[in-house]
Amino acid sequence: MRIMGLDYGDRTIGVAVSDPLGYTAQGLCVMRHEGGKSLKQRVRELADLVREREIGAVVLGYPKMMNNTEGEQCRKTLDFKRKLEAALGLGRVPVYLADERLTTASANRVLTEGGLSRRERGKYVDSVAAALILQAYLDYNKKDRGD
């Protein structure tokens, strides 16, 4: 079963997917909130991706603060989660929250080490962050696969 990872933000949504066996995560794309597209349209596009790629679960980054408190971005993320669950058919494809602290910083570091310029990093950082969120989830759940 493939799993989708999402890094939701005010300007973009980073998207990643796992391999069919659920071992590795790969960045897929970055959806930008521009061009007059509403959040409702983005949610619909994500629901279409879930169906097209036969996704069995979604892991959504939950942006707690470093002191473990929940701020405004957590509220926005929970609102996004509710909208996504409704579009996917509540319970049909579960949406799990996963701690995403420092994933964007880690994604920037990975891309910097890969030799990408600041401009190029900006194009990919959110999909890499989504892949890191998803990979952490996959690694944590290895025991469920018998690894």
Boundaries of every domain in the chain:
2-145
CATH 3.30.420.140 fits 2-145, yes or no: yes
Tokens describing residue 132: 């890191």
Q: Residues in the chain with pLDDT < 50?
A: none
Q: According to the model, what pLDDT value does residue 122 have?
A: 67
Amino acid 62: pLDDT: 95
pLDDT number for residue 146: 59
Residue 111 is predicted with a pLDDT of 60
CA–CA dist 101, 135 (Å, integer): 14
Which pLDDT belongs to residue 134? 96
Contacts of 75 (CB under 8 A, 6+ apart): none
- Output the CA–CA distances (angstroms, integers) from residue 11 to 31, 33, 34, 36, 38, in the order listed: 9, 5, 8, 12, 12
Q: Looking at residue 142, what is its pLDDT?
A: 78
Are 134 and 24 in contact by the 8 Å Cβ rule? The answer is no
